Amino acid sequence: MFDPRQKKLADLIINYSTRMQKGENILIEAFDVYGGLVTELVRAAHAAGARPFVSVRSNELIGEMIKSATPEQLNLWAEVDRNRMSKMHAYVGLRAAHNASELADVPSDKMQQYMQLYQQPVHLDQRVRFTRWVVLRYPTASMAQMANMSTDSFEQFYYDVCTLDYRKMSDAMQPLKDLMDRTDKVHVKSPGTDLRFSIKGIGSVKCDGRINIPDGECYSAPVKETVEGTIAYNTPSLYQGATYENIRFTFEKGRIVKAESSDTARMNKVLDTDPGARYVGEFSLGFNPYIHVPMKDTLFDEKIAGSLHLTPGNAYETADNGNRSGVHWDIVLIQTPAHGGGEIWFDGRLIRKDGLFVVPELEGLNPQNLT
């Protein structure tokens, strides 16, 4: 059945997020999604004069592949998919979370092998670096359940948050980007958190609907060996099919020297994937005005208004501290009063308190000014 909300979102993705032009190639990779938005994306791409290619995948089957795949098989799989990705100008990754824990029973060593031999070359080395890409979820009953909403209410929330006025948001983000570009010292304080690092010379990137949907963050990265102190995250994190709660990292000279959570042993196996997994590849502030509570979906949770995320693993080359890893694990700390509050200081100046920006040039990013 035709849904005008899907057409609106598809038009946004093709014409704003990926900026498709006549004769360009775009890969639409749909995980457990059939028809609907995928069809509208194909139609919108053709209308723009672009050439869409569709790959429909199943997380259940991917899990089975990972469990039994040999290194030789993973290398060949990666070679084939990287070759295809190299011919694309843009990429859309659309995932339906029918079961967010579908990969939970994949052994840690097998998952690490998959991340190193497939995800790293295909996505981190090729797709992220050389395509205009955007990733998003597709609304399902299980996502509605994680958000504690009815299916109908969640669908409306989903389309509201995904199709907000990103051009307006982009304009409001520019002062924050300018400030981050010239900032040296960052100090993050929250209950259980006292963390310091430098972002000097790294630069920053506005995320305004051209990479993720929903969007609403501005990211940089710590100078690799400057992170010192402790961070206590206050949102559950779903990573590689497993859920982690009460995550707490202690840093010395940029490296995670102590990691604790509700599943400490499994988490440390992830952090031991490679040397770069214990260093931070991203620091970001979130401010999407429609997202307020975590729902164990990183694409939504990392954009929560009044949040930040500090990411173990690979750094993006667009704000690069040189860290390389097969891991990129966005974990969220919310600093609104309902979640314990907190402060962010740039070069000794308080810029955000209890989730709200408190300097005049950044107040345009507070929720009441973006809705």
Fold of the domain built from segment(s) 4-162? Thermophilic metalloprotease-like (3.40.1830)
Q: What pLDDT is recorded for position 307?
A: 98
No. of helices (H) and no. of strands (E), the chain:
12, 19
Where are the alpha helices (H) located in the chain, listed in sequence order? 4-12, 37-47, 59-68, 71-86, 108-114, 128-130, 141-146, 151-162, 166-181, 264-271, 298-301, 367-370
Q: What pLDDT is recorded for position 295?
A: 87
Residue 181 or 297, more confident: 181
Cα(182)–Cα(338) distance, rounded to whole angstroms?
Answer: 31
Q: Taking residues 144-163, report their average pLDDT.
A: 89
Contacts of 265 (CB under 8 A, 6+ apart): none
Q: What pLDDT is recorded for position 1?
A: 63
Residue 273 or 35, more confident: 273
Cα(237)–Cα(246) distance, rounded to whole angstroms?
Answer: 9
pTM: 0.81
Residue 324: pLDDT band (50, 70, 90) is very high
Burial class (CB in 10 A: 0-12, 13-18, 19+), 117: buried
- In degrees to the nearest 10, what's the CA dihedral of 347, 350, 353, 356? -90
Cα(336)–Cα(286) distance, rounded to whole angstroms?
Answer: 12
Q: Taking residues 298-325, report their average pLDDT.
A: 96
Helices 151-162 + 4-12 axis angle, to 10: 30
Residues in the chain: 371
Residue 93 sits at φ, ψ, to 5 deg, of -110, 115
Cα(39)–Cα(14) distance, rounded to whole angstroms?
Answer: 12
Percent of the chain at pLDDT exceeding 70:
98
Any bridge partners for residue 197, and if so which? 186
Residue 98: pLDDT band (50, 70, 90) is low
Kindly report, residue by residue over 18-75, the tens digit of the pLDDT.
999 999 999 999 999 988 999 999 999 999 999 999 999 998 899 999 999 999 999 9
Q: What pLDDT is recorded for position 122?
A: 97
Quickly tell me which residue has 């940029």 as its tokens. Answer: 254
The mean pLDDT value of the chain amounts to: 94
Q: What pLDDT is recorded for position 142?
A: 85
Q: Taking residues 347-357, report their average pLDDT.
A: 98
Kindly report, residue by residue over 227-252, the tens digit of the pLDDT.
999 999 999 999 988 899 999 999 99
Contacts of 287 (CB under 8 A, 6+ apart): 216, 217, 303, 305, 306, 357, 365, 366, 367, 370
Kindly report, residue by residue over 187-235, the tens digit of the pLDDT.
999 999 999 999 999 999 999 998 889 999 999 999 999 999 999 999 9
What are the tokens at 233?
A: 């995250």
Quickly tell me which residue has 């670096």 as its tokens. Answer: 129
Quickly tell me which residue has 């770069």 as its tokens. Answer: 276
Residue 101 or 146, more confident: 146
Q: What pLDDT is recorded for position 100?
A: 65
Q: Where are the domains of the chain?
A: 4-162, 166-370
Residue 21 sits at φ, ψ, to 5 deg, of -120, 165
